[in-house]
Structure 1
Amino acid sequence: MNYDVLKQEIIAYSREIGIDKIGFASAAPFLELKDRLVRQQELNYASGFEEKDIEKRVEPAKIFDQPRSIIAIALAYPSKMKEVVKGKRGERRGVFCRASWGEDYHTVLRDRLSQLEAFISSKVPEARFRSMVDTGELVDRAVAERAGIGWSGKNCSIITPDFGSYVYLGEMITNLPFEPDEPIEERCGTCTKCIDACPTGALVQGGQLNSSRCIAFLTQTKDFMPEEFRDHLGNRLYGCDTCQAVCPENKGMDFHFHEEMEPSSEEVKPLLEPLLQIGNKKFKERFGYMSGSWRGKKPIQRNAIIALAHFKETSALPSLIQVLKEDVRPVMRGTAAWAIAKIGGLEAKEALLKAKEKETDPEVRKEIDQGLASLNQ
């Protein structure tokens, strides 16, 4: 088998099926990465969503029998909506980050990887594969960097010369020995715009992220959001685009190559108030196809409450008061109490005083007491 010829055939086929970038890397252990991952754990900077076993994250042989190479792919996604909807007083809207626009990217990339596997198998029946997208053991960015897809930017994203950092990544370990591609030279230079713009200082330094402070991570948690971060959330419902939006390499980057990635403006910028009472079935019907729905409705609803406080949306007070009075989830009641106090006014104060008479959950009572204290200042 001439693997150089096969490599070129794979590259040509990848373009036919809508893969925007493809690269080939060795399956050697990611030794430098291991030190960084250990350090992240020691500092408690990891998000907790990652594979816990660092050995599996850095050694392909731990998860695949006799790996010979890794094929990395990237698909470019849009950064602008074709149809824009705007919120206004009385009709405030939240926003899902760009990486949640359109169909769940895990589904899209797995489809491309499956097609690639089938093509290679038709050429080499004894070929074996292990494909993964985001939730696998390997670190997508490390594989993409080694395969020459792009360089690892200071914003902790892979930045490609062609599409900036607006790309989804996936990879495939295989037992076939492809010639590896050359990594791309890093081009961030002295630029620190992403670090400077990070709303919560989560980018500790170039290429190092404290996930526990990252808004993209915080929007996915299900408990009370620590108060120090609430005012930084703005109207974000899921994810955060700031460190990508300010990157000079992303200037003018907007690609609409894949129909399934096109956003529905009403879904990615939904009205906030209706989200407070949305049921599970309706939530799944409306948002279930998006990657931003993977944690369920609870984080989205909590974030919608915080967003209404961000806008100081007085017209939403009756809805927030209803949540405070009726929602069975302490996180929702407590967050609503905080939001009601933020919006302020006599109606807000009366609602908090009434809620205090009946509330038994200690965390919710704490939010109510803090809210009343701020209103009495």
Structure 2
Amino acid sequence: MNYEFTTVGALIGLAVAIILIIKKLQPAYSLILGALIGGIIGSGSLVTTVNTMVSGGEGMISSVLRIMTSGILAGTLIKTGAAEKIAEVIVEKLGEKRALAAISLATMIICAVGVFIDISVITVAPIALAIGKKSGYHKEALLLAMIGGGKAGNIISPNPNTIAVSEAFKVDLTSLMMKNFIPAICAVVVTILLSTMLSKKQGVQVTENDLEQKEDKNLPSFIQAVAGPVVVVILLALRPVASIVIDPLIALPVGGVVCALACGQIKNIREYAEFGLGKVVGVSVLLIGTGTIAGIIKASALQYDVVHILKMANMPAFLLAPIAGILMAGATASTTAGATIGAQTFAGTLIKSGVSALSAGAMVHAGATVIDSLPHGSFFHATGGAAGLEIKERMKLIPYEMCVGLTSTVVAVMTYVI
């Protein structure tokens, strides 16, 4: 076993990063500082620590480039109204009687076609609140339906977390997305059941003040709205279907351009690209910070010690994958950061243990959706604000969200075992 840093040092560094994030220091800086402290405490020299951090950050560049170009698709879907149109049509087709199912599916699909999960919830929220007011559903049930649907869509989307995991395990992005399709379906079914159950309890009712003022929005048709995502799916599917490799770095922005063309808004593509870039800059910077601490953890004895503990407990090595995703996402309160650290740190160990790269990636990714929405992360507050819930009410949803994430994780593990 060759390692540069001790397990204790790596854990202390991670703990420092968590504390700083909770204290509201910028997450990327928190991770970088945690990596530096962890490396030095972990018996590394200052030079070795910094070099390892830089190497870890450099390892994220390919993911960052793909994520930056994905902003063109996300920005175009949002600014053209395509995402809103997709949600609107799904809710209309399923009707008020199946409102919670419609809201869950709408959020799932919007997230799955390339809109980030927090933006997916924010996009669907006005529609959900309006139908909730009419149908008598309270905010907690509506928000759970959106979050659960978003979690399901997030593990089958070309979003930053999926890209980062596919890069870490060196697997095809489309194959990784499809690997978690059944876990995603199970997660959305559980979401519908839980939100329906929650709707029968007391909650905060939707009022007129919560509803957006109606305005004449020039939304595209449904065919126009789905044109971009359909092109992305076709381009990414060419690799497994016809052995024609179209990298996400090309497929995702092409989908954005097609969406703008289909919606008759190609003249605004520069504006949409700038908007999308603004949405992914934060994630890109976070991933570089994530890479620094992932580099320290990867070069430490932590992975060997964890495997040793699993063997002592007579637990199979593949369980390291979901456990890594769960713990790292909980620590950072971020699906992207948690999935990235878990994948970057344990990819080599899992593959050496005989776990296929694709299955390991799917389990890490699914695990990262279990406790990723804790209060020290932005997703908790962004989604609570979208539904107009106070922190106290928003906190009550965490156990339900955990059940949704655990569902997809357990199913992902079962698909590997079976």
Report the structure number with the largest CA radius of gyration: 1
Structure having the higher strand fraction is 1
Structure having the higher helix fraction is 2
TM-score normalised over the length of structure 1 = 0.27
TM-score normalised over the length of structure 2 = 0.25
